[in-house]
Structure 1
Amino acid sequence: MPRLTRDRITWLTYAQLGVWGFFLYGFGPVVPLLRDEQGTTTAVAGLHSTALAAGALLGGLAFPYLATRLGRGRTNWLGLAGIVAAVAVLTLFHSLPATLTAALVAATFGFMLVNGVNTTLAEHHPVNSPAAISEANAACAGMGILAPIVIGLTVGAGLGWRPAIAVEVALIVAVAVAALVFRVRLPANIPATAAADGPPRRLPRSYWIAWLLLGVTGSIEVCLSLWAADVLRGNAGMSAGAASAALAAIVTGMFLGRFAGGWIALRVAPIPFLLAALAVSFVGFAIFWAAPIGWLAVSGLVVVGLGNAMHYPLGISMALATAPGQADRAAAYSSYSVAVGFGVAPVVLGWVADSVGPHLAFLLLPLFIATAALLALSLTRTTHTPPGVRKGPLLSPSV
């Protein structure tokens, strides 16, 4: 039976991605509150997602350079330090330029960290990387469950959302202290396989299909993170605090899905697994969108989260699997795809929402789900293997 060995390096990368999850999943519920606080439109508030997207681009550009010169371990810690700086700006300043800058800085360093974690796990667990990356993202979602709940509690208590976001700094300090106490060091240098001599090889067509897939599935997740609270307020009659806290339902579903997904990924091929996950996302969205009452809409969000759980772990695992020996470059380019999804989709949805309302605007999401399914099927065709040839990593379980 396939097994995933979790050593101290594995657990540290899980913890690092987990603290980023607290910020990432906490920032989504903050955006509608920032819109109310700053008196902007939905489309203007959506520029915070554009700032996240620009940061993802910058993080993707910086990561290969920094990983080569500093090593992935130091690059990961630099990413966490940058997130601390972004949280300080976000909590101390109230103007739109300041909050947009904070989102940009957080995403730049956050996506450097994400790339570092993904490539570290992909090469530390070369056979079982889909399972390891899934579990790391389960840690990310697990910590992300707490953020909307804490924000909902502090908003409901009249304290606002800033004290909740400031908890991120304490979490990062705790991870750093734990690494010192247990003397855990991440790999300091790029492995030889990732720094081959000569000019970089062209990434294959299958990589670029996976690249597009990451952008589309990222669009699904970020639109829900930023604007689902508005639908809960307008269509399901929930208060602002309750709607913000209810976004924890998505992250709860993602945590459960990724926790179970690590086990399933050892036994089920990535592409069929992804198609099943997209189907679950569609069912959950249908429940959420049609529900006229809060508890039913929130139940739909849990189901959406179960489906969304494996979109990114499987997508990034497939992208890295199509580019052996080029993990850092493939991971960095994947940030660009995520950036496009983060930067374009929420702004388009916000623009449509300003015209027809958030509820109708959310009908864009089934289109994203269908597009992702078509890309996954296309990836199946590009990785088809003839009879008698061993199947590639996208068409067989990670065993």
Structure 2
Amino acid sequence: MLVRDRLTWLTYAQLAAWAYFLYGFSPVVPLLRDEQHTSRAVASLHGVAFALGGLISGALLPPLVRRFGRAAVIWGGLLGVCVSAAGLLLSHALPATLSWAALASTAGGLVVNGVTAALADHHGPGGPAAISEANAGAAAIGVVAPLIVGSSVAAGLGWRPGIAAVVAVVVAIAAFALLTRVRLPAVQLQDSPATGRLPGRFWLVWASLLATGSVEVCLNLWVADVLRTHAHVSPAGATAAVSTLLGGMFVGRLVGSRLVARLPGAAVMLGALALSAVGFAIFWPATAPWLALTGLVVTGLGIALLYPLGMALAVQHSGGQPDLAASRTSYAVGVSFGVAPFALGSVADRVGPHLAFLLVPAFLAMSALAIVTLRNRVAAAQPALAPTLD
């Protein structure tokens, strides 16, 4: 049973602040391509910058937690996100926007992985439900972010003021923490080793996260472009329409937090992958905006649980090393952020974004294969454990 306290709500809010930046910036990439007069492949370098930041944060997290503690690392990450937002507000050249994207991803990775490990430790058996619920809140904020950015674009202000609003969000969260005097507990050194060996099952989850991360980043970065070129939605409307995907993710994570508390994680993951495929099958061929948006909602319902449940499974199969597992998953997410959007952008420059989007179901199939293998290994190991349980 999940019992929420002030610490729970604080970590939820911290994750939501990063989500505002992430989901607000993702649909901006096509606008940056227009602004900077680059190809889709070059614009997708912002995804590579996010990947680089994810890899850096994964390497930094264990030693930083050991040295400063989770609380300082998470707050430091939020500060880095604010600095990045301010930098983007003042920057227009490609090298500058790439640099700020990399810094934001590094800082955001510290927030995400710190919060995930904190919730897993704080809630024990209720950790997977708490992680899913935290990501539901993040998706709810993510619904708002593209709408604010899209409204800013429609008003002629550009996208930057909408992104910079994250600073106000972080200030409000810090004020809440100060007023309520809630703090993350200290972490024992053995709970966050800088090095260690993770079980083979963890690496199956890692492979699944690599694939599902590729799905999510491709959708967030390029779905607005497909809406513009295939469903004939205006640039401002396509940017704001990403909220339909995130709306589906919010509902999916809210409902999913109940499912993961009652059903095996692998079974829920496979169901989510199947629903994602159904939603994509509706979205991809649609030329009418309403049908394309309907497909995005269904897709959002499916992909909602892929990341939070993948993170929960990674911690579950980490052999009691939550911080190390969280840091290593950053590499999976980082690689997916770098390789997938660049591959999709490169293909899109040759055949168009619509055909290039067929990479998405391929990534879904890759994740399903990894989870089926994990489930089979767990099932095979259970009979061997049975005599010790009698």
Q: What interval of TM-score do these two structures reach, taking the shorter chain for normalisation? A: over 0.9
Alignment partners' CA distance in 1, 2:40 and 2:341:
10
From the superposition, tell whether residues 60 and 388 of structure 1 become closer, same or farther in structure 2 (CA, over 3 Å): closer
Cα RMSD over matched residues?
1.3
> SS of 1:159's equivalent?
coil
From the superposition, tell whether residues 33 and 301 of structure 1 become closer, same or farther in structure 2 (CA, over 3 Å): same
Question: What is the CA-CA distance between 1:159 and the residue it aligns to?
Answer: 1.1
What does residue 34 of structure 1 align with?
32
Alignment partners' CA distance in 2, 1:323 and 1:232:
40
Q: Find 2:369's aligned residue among 374, 377, 383.
A: 374
What does residue 9 of structure 2 align with?
11
Structure 2 unpaired stretches of 5+: none
What does residue 128 of structure 2 align with?
130
Deviation sequence 1:30-81 (CA, Å, 0-9, x none): 1110010000000000000000000001111111111111110111100000
Contact 1:52–1:342, Cα closer than 8 Å, also in 2: yes
Question: What is the CA-CA distance between 1:135 and the residue it aligns to?
Answer: 0.6
Contact 2:36–2:94, Cα closer than 8 Å, also in 1: yes
Question: What is the CA-CA distance between 1:201 and the residue it aligns to?
Answer: 4.2
What does residue 280 of structure 1 align with?
275
What does residue 227 of structure 2 align with?
232
What does residue 77 of structure 1 align with?
75
Alignment partners' CA distance in 2, 1:209 and 1:324:
14
Alignment partners' CA distance in 1, 2:306 and 2:4:
23
> SS of 1:324's equivalent?
coil
Q: Which moved more, 1:379-388 or 1:268-277?
A: 379-388
Q: Find 1:160's aligned residue among 138, 158, 161.
A: 158
Alignment partners' CA distance in 2, 1:366 and 1:213:
13
Alignment partners' CA distance in 2, 1:388 and 1:340:
36
Letter in 2 for 1:386: Q
- Per residue, is there more helix in 1 or in 2? 2
Question: What is the CA-CA distance between 1:237 and the residue it aligns to?
Answer: 0.7
Alignment partners' CA distance in 1, 2:192 and 2:110:
18
Match runs of 1:143-222 below 5 Å: 143-187=141-185, 189-191=186-188, 194-195=191-192, 200-222=195-217
Letter in 1 for 2:132: S
Q: Find 1:107's aligned residue among 96, 105, 111.
A: 105
Contact 1:76–1:117, Cα closer than 8 Å, also in 2: yes
Contact 1:193–1:325, Cα closer than 8 Å, also in 2: no
Deviation sequence 1:314-362 (CA, Å, 0-9, x none): 1111111111331111110110011111100000000000000000000
Alignment partners' CA distance in 2, 1:263 and 1:308:
16
Alignment partners' CA distance in 2, 1:244 and 1:145:
11
Question: What is the CA-CA distance between 1:191 and the residue it aligns to?
Answer: 2.9
Q: Find 1:53's aligned residue among 51, 54, 59.
A: 51
Contact 2:192–2:324, Cα closer than 8 Å, also in 1: no
Contact 1:195–1:325, Cα closer than 8 Å, also in 2: no
How many pairs does the alignment contain? 385
The answer to whether the aligner puts 1:270 opposite 2:265 as a matched pair is: yes
TM-score (norm 1): 0.94
Letter in 2 for 1:344: V
Letter in 2 for 1:53: A
From the superposition, tell whether residues 6 and 355 of structure 1 become closer, same or farther in structure 2 (CA, over 3 Å): same
Report percent identity of matched pairs: 52
From the superposition, tell whether residues 201 and 19 of structure 1 become closer, same or farther in structure 2 (CA, over 3 Å): closer
